[in-house]
Amino acid sequence: IILRTVLNKKVPLQMGRMCYSSSVPTTKLLIDGKFIESKTSEWLDIHNPATNEVVGRVPKATQEEMLAAVDSCSRAYRPWSDTSILSRQQIFLRYQQLIKDNIKELAKLITLEQGKTLADAEGDVYRGLRKPKTNPCVFYVFHICISLHMLLVYFILAPHFLLPEVVEYACSIPSLMLGETLPSITKDMDTFTYRLPIGVCAGIAPFNFPAMIPLWMFPIGMVCGNTYLMKPSERVPGCTMLLAKLLQDAGAPDGTLNIIHGQHAAVNFICDHPAIKAISFVGSNPAGEHIYERGSKNGKRVQSNMGAKNHGVVMPDANKENTINQLVGAAFGAAGQRCMALSTAIFVGESRDWLPELVERSKSLRVNAGDQPGADVGPLISPEAKVRVESLIQSGVDEGAKLLLDGRNTNVKGYENGNFVGPTILSGVSPAMKCYTEEIFGPVLVVLEADTLDEAITLINNNPYGNGTAIFTTNGATARKYTHEVDVGQIGVNVPIPVPLPMFSFTGSRGSFRGDTNFYGKQGISFYTQIKTVTSQWKAEDATVTSPAVTMPT
C-alpha cells in the first residue's frame, strides 16, 4: 500500500493490482448446503475497478472440491426432481421477495466488484424482478423533469422497472411445464407427454452482469427440477454468493445449488464431468466456442451466448432528440460493457449532420466511481480492459478514423487509480478497421455512414455477430423492411437495447450464439427439460390378443 501510494503517479495500475492484504475477505464455496473455505493454495484477487484496490479473494477450487460439488448435486437430484412442482414454485415465490428485500445490498456488491453505477446495478438485479409498485405516469413526469444524464438512465432501465423478469417468470412453472395429450389416437389408445428435468446442470457466467446472468441460469434450471452447479465469473463472485444465500433462505434444500470458483480448470471440469447433462454459458467468443465444442463432444446440451457488435441505424426521418439520447445512453451506459450496447452507429443520408450534437451530448455524461452520486459512466473492469480499449481507439486513429471525442486520459478526482475511459466517438470508420471488426466492450461508439437503408443492412449482415440491433425511424415501412431483412437475433425499432423480457427468449444469433435453444422464456424451459411420451391402451371389453403381430403397428 505504501509502495502504491509512493509510486501512485508512475505505475498506478500495476501497483494497484499488486496491492494485497491477507485481511481481505475470501469468497466461499457452496458445497452441499454449506459455505466453506477452499483448501486450495491458488487464489485470485478481486479488485474494485474504481480504485484497483483488492476487495476480496476468490479460490481456484481444487479437483476434490469440484467433485464434491457435483456429487452433492447428483445426490440432491432425485429428491428435488420428485418434489411437487407447487413446492418448487413456492420456494421461488419466496426467493423473488427476498431478492427485492435485499436489492440495495446486491447492488452495492455489484458496484464494488464490477464498477457499474448503483442505479445501473439495481437494474442488473431488477432483471430478476419487478419494481415495487411505481405508477408509470409518475415515472414519466419525474424523468421528463430531471437532468439529461438521468434521462439516459431512464432509456436503459425503464423497461426493467416496469415489467416482470426472470425469477418471477420461473414462478409460473406449473403452466410452463405442462405436457401435451391426445386422447383416442386409435381405439382405446391415448398418448400424452410429460416435460421432465434432465439431471445436474451447470452455469458459467461473465463479469458484466453479476446478478442478471446467473439469474438467467440457476432459477430456470432448478425450478424445472434439476440441480445446479454454478461457476460465477472469478472477477465478480460476491453477488452470486449472496443470491445463493437468499435461495437457501427461501427454502431450497441442501445440494440443489452448489457453487465452485475458478477459471479454465473449473470450466473444463464442467465440460468433462459425465454427471453434468447441460451447460449454460455466457461470455466471450473464445471461451464460448471452446465450451460449446468440448461440452457437446461429451454429450451435453450446451447453450452459449457470446460476443457482439450491435449496430444502431439512424434514418434521417427519425425523431432527432430521442435518437441522440438513446444512442448516447446505449453506447456509453455501463461503460459500454453490455453485450447489447449499441457500439456502432450507421448514419443514413442526412442524419450524418447530427454528429456534432451527438458529441456534445456525450460530453455531458459524468465519468465517476459507480457509488458516487450523479455518476453516468463507471470504470472498466480491469487495467487490462482499459489498455485494450485504449489501444483499439488508437488503432482507429492510425487507420484513418476521426476521433470526435477522446475519453482516454480521463482523470477522475479521488479515483486516479481507477480503470476509467470516458465516452469516445470515432467517425469515418470503415468495415476493415480493427475498431470495427473487434468487439471493443468499452465506452466507444464507432460511426459509419451509408447512403441508403439497403447499404446499412448489407453492412450489418456482413458482420459476423448477430446479437442485437436497433433502427431509429418514424416510417413504418422502413422499420418493417429493416426487421425483415436484417439477420440479427434481437431487433429494436426506436428501442436501443431490445433485450426481450422473459416471457420471450434472449435470441442472439450467428456469431453471437452457439446451440439451438436460447436462454429463458419457453426456449429456456425446453433447454432444461426433456420429454417423455406415453402411449397407453385400456380396452373396455376383454379382447385377448390371439396371435403375435410382427408388422409395425399403425
Instruction: Dig out the grid coordinates for 260 from the structure.
Output: 465452485
- Backbone angle region of 32, left / alpha / beta, with phi > 0 → left and psi within -120 to 50 → alpha: left
Instruction: Kindly tell me which of 322 and 509 has the beta carbon lying closer to ligand NAD.
Output: 509
How far is the C-alpha of 396 from the C-alpha of 428, rounded, in Å?
A: 9
Candidate list 233, 427, 490, 526; residue touching ligand NAD; CB under 6 A = 233
Q: Give how far Cα 346 sits from Cα of 55, 218, 305, 427, Å.
A: 41, 37, 25, 10
234 touches ligand NAD (CB under 6 A) = yes
Instruction: Kindly tell me which of 83 and 284 has the beta carbon lying closer to ligand NAD.
Output: 284
Candidate list 30, 204, 358, 448; residue touching ligand NAD; CB under 6 A = 204
123 touches ligand NAD (CB under 6 A) = no
Nearest in space to 278 (alpha carbons), one of 291, 287, 265: 291
Candidate list 512, 518, 523, 529; residue touching ligand NAD; CB under 6 A = 512
List the beta strands (DSSP E) in 88-226: 181-186, 189-197, 200-204
Candidate list 203, 307, 329, 378; residue touching ligand NAD; CB under 6 A = 307
**R_g (Cα) of the chain, nearest Å:** 25
Instruction: Kindly tell me which of 263 and 475 has the beta carbon lying closer to ligand NAD.
Output: 263
Active site residues: 339
214 touches ligand NAD (CB under 6 A) = no
Amino acid at 552: M
Candidate list 263, 410, 509, 517; residue touching ligand NAD; CB under 6 A = 263
Binding segment for ligand NAD among 48-56, 141-149, 226-234, 531-539 (CB under 6 A)? 226-234
488 touches ligand NAD (CB under 6 A) = no
How far is the C-alpha of 29 from the C-alpha of 228, rounded, in Å?
A: 14
Candidate list 279, 306, 457, 486; residue touching ligand NAD; CB under 6 A = 306
SS3 category, 45 = strand
Please give the residue whose beta carbon sits closest to ligand NAD in the complex.
Answer: 283
Compute how many residues bind ligand NAD; rule: CB under 6 A.
Answer: 29
- Residue 19 phi/psi, 5° resolution? -55, 130
Query: Would strands 468-472 and 310-314 be described as parallel, antiparallel, or unpaired?
Result: parallel
259 touches ligand NAD (CB under 6 A) = no
- Residue 59 phi/psi, 5° resolution? -85, 155
Rounded to 5°, the CA angle 180-183-189 comes to 120
Nearest in space to 208 (alpha carbons), one of 130, 122, 282: 282
Site string for ligand NAD, 425-464 (x = CB under 6 A): --------------x-x-----------------------
Residues in Cβ contact with 161 at an 8 Å cutoff, skipping those fewer than 6 apart? 123, 126, 130, 131, 134, 139
467 touches ligand NAD (CB under 6 A) = yes
Binding segment for ligand NAD among 20-28, 32-40, 193-201, 228-236 (CB under 6 A)? 228-236
297 touches ligand NAD (CB under 6 A) = no
Candidate list 193, 284, 322, 494; residue touching ligand NAD; CB under 6 A = 284
Instruction: Kindly tell me which of 75 and 290 has the beta carbon lying closer to ligand NAD.
Output: 290
Instruction: Kindly tell me which of 111 and 467 has the beta carbon lying closer to ligand NAD.
Output: 467
Nearest in space to 46 (alpha carbons), one of 182, 207, 158, 209: 207
208 touches ligand NAD (CB under 6 A) = yes
Nearest in space to 8 (alpha carbons), one of 415, 326, 340: 415
308 touches ligand NAD (CB under 6 A) = yes
Instruction: Kindly tell me which of 148 and 265 has the beta carbon lying closer to ligand NAD.
Output: 265
Residue matched to cell numbers 492510425: 398
444 in Cβ contact with 435 (< 8 Å): yes
Strand order in the sheet with 402-405: 402-405, 424-427, 444-450, 342-348, 310-314, 468-472, 490-493
510 touches ligand NAD (CB under 6 A) = no
Site string for ligand NAD, 312-341 (x = CB under 6 A): ---------------------------x--
Candidate list 78, 264, 363, 539; residue touching ligand NAD; CB under 6 A = 264
Instruction: Kindly tell me which of 91 and 242 has the beta carbon lying closer to ligand NAD.
Output: 242
* Least distance in angstroms from the C-beta of 286 to ligand NAD: 5
Number of Cβ within a 10 Å radius of residue 157? 20
469 touches ligand NAD (CB under 6 A) = no
378 touches ligand NAD (CB under 6 A) = no
Residues in Cβ contact with 427 at an 8 Å cutoff, skipping those fewer than 6 apart? 355, 401, 402, 404, 447
Instruction: Kindly tell me which of 197 and 288 has the beta carbon lying closer to ligand NAD.
Output: 288
Footprint of ligand NAD on this chain (CB under 6 A)?
A: 204-209, 231, 233-234, 263-264, 267, 282-284, 286-287, 290, 305-308, 339, 439, 441, 467, 506, 508, 512
